[in-house]
Structure 1
Amino acid sequence: MAVDHIRYDILVQDALRSVVRKVLADIARDGLVGDHHFYVTFRTHARGVRLSSRMRSLYPEEMTIILQHQFWDLSVTDHAFEVGLSFKNVPEMLLVPFDSVTRFSDPTAGFDLEFKHDDGVEPSANDPGAPEAAAAPEPPASEPAPKAAEAAPAGDKIVSIDAFRKKT
């Protein structure tokens, strides 16, 4: 078999990450539309991820957040997104580089993406490090809270695929 010097696999992964970037940039600008909400799973130990030491100790490998009812200060750049959310009544700001994202899902649309990483470790379909259920309380009074994010309940499974698929 011929060697792929072009690295189509990397090009496709980058193109799919641009879908995530575009969707998050749109909701940062316009807010959520309809019943859409998003599960975003990322490697907490990846370069550039910024989260508190408390959260890193709770989720040393991978973490899933849900952008649905209450989140604030969502901002998106070419390389990362930052979002305020609350875990067990403690507000946190997370900075998540797109390269650290392992899954992106919009259950309303039945849309799921899974990303492979060059470190040789592919994301697991049965996430043993799935976060425990967490309440999503109101943000601090000084922060407007038109939206919220919370950790995914431990029993939730996110359907993962090699590239992408619209469920039928």
Structure 2
Amino acid sequence: MSDQTPPPESLLPYDRWTEEAMRNVALRALEFAARNGLPGEHHFYLTFRTDHPETKVPGHLKARYPQEMTIVLQHQFWDLKVDRAEQKVSVGLSFGGAAANLVIPFAALVAFWDPHVRVGLRFGEMTAPDAEGETVPEAVESEPLPPPPEPQAEKPETPAQVVSLDAFRRRPTRE
């Protein structure tokens, strides 16, 4: 077998399952923080699409971040909720002293990062539910997660540890 031979096409949706599992890791971390608060030095960076039709952010933030925004959940946030039925995360934050409530659909999430333990996840876009009613990601990103922009937060001390799908893909064997 040569390096030119493409891998066989899978009849199982591994990319979709992996994407769903990675999103579930982020959602479980958010659910934990909603129930128990953030333990120790853990804090989360959430990057999301502000141009997603179901994202709800105040107009002045939407004007400042028309496509994508990163928020930090660390010291001053409240009413963090993960609603799996509605597939949305909501949280209260303060921007320049003004309180704001954000509603972020799961499909709008771009990245999750906990710099305390250097765990970072980048998500592909999600499309409409498939025939089984599951949400299907459009693409799975496997490139390194760059440090988040710092519009509202301090710069993290260390880069994220990215989970790469390449480590789990079968490589063609050389003969």
Q: TM-score, normalised by structure 1?
A: 0.73
Aligned to 2:70: 64
1:41 is aligned, of 27, 41, 47, to 47
Structure 2 Cα separation of the partners of residues 121 and 5 of structure 1: 17
1:24 maps to which of 30, 47, 50 = 30
Deviates more, 1:62-71 or 1:94-103: 94-103
| Structure 2: gaps (5+ residues) | 1-6, 127-137, 166-175
Determine the structure 2 residue equivalent to 1:97.
Answer: 105
Q: Distance between the aligned counterparts of 2:49 and 2:159, measured in 1?
A: 15
State the one-letter code of the partner of 2:108. Answer: S
After superposition, the Cα gap between the structure-2 partners of 1:47 and 1:5, relative to the gap in structure 1 and judged at 3 Å, is farther
Q: What per-residue deviation string (whole Å, max 9, x for no partner) do you get for residues 113-167 of structure 1?
A: 1112256796995689x463xxxxxxxxxxxxxxxxxx235x6696474648xxx
The number of aligned residues is 144
Instruction: Find the aligned partners of 2:159 and 2:53 in 1 and give their Cα distance.
Output: 24
Residue pairs, 1:1-168, within 5 angstroms: 1-78=7-84, 79-117=87-125, 130=149, 132=151, 151-152=152-153, 159=160, 161=162, 163=164
Kept in 2, the 8 Å contact 1:71–1:85? The answer is yes
Structure 2: distance between partners of 1:8 and 1:131? 34
Asked which structure has the greater CA Rg, the reply is 2
Q: In 2, Cα distance between the equivalents of 1:127 and 1:34?
A: 21
Contact 2:122 2:145 in 1 (8 A): no
CA–CA distance in 1 between the matches of 2:140 and 2:28?
A: 26
Look up the equivalent residue of 2:50 and give its one-letter code: T
Cα deviation for residue 105 of structure 1 reads: 0.7
Q: Give me the whole-angstrom Cα distance separating, in 1, the residues matched to 2:147 and 2:114.
A: 18
TM-score by length of 2: 0.70
**Which one-letter code corresponds to 2:37 in the other structure?**
G
Q: CA deviation at 1:77?
A: 1.0
SS at match of 2:103: strand
Secondary structure (helix, strand or coil) at the match of 2:54 reads: coil
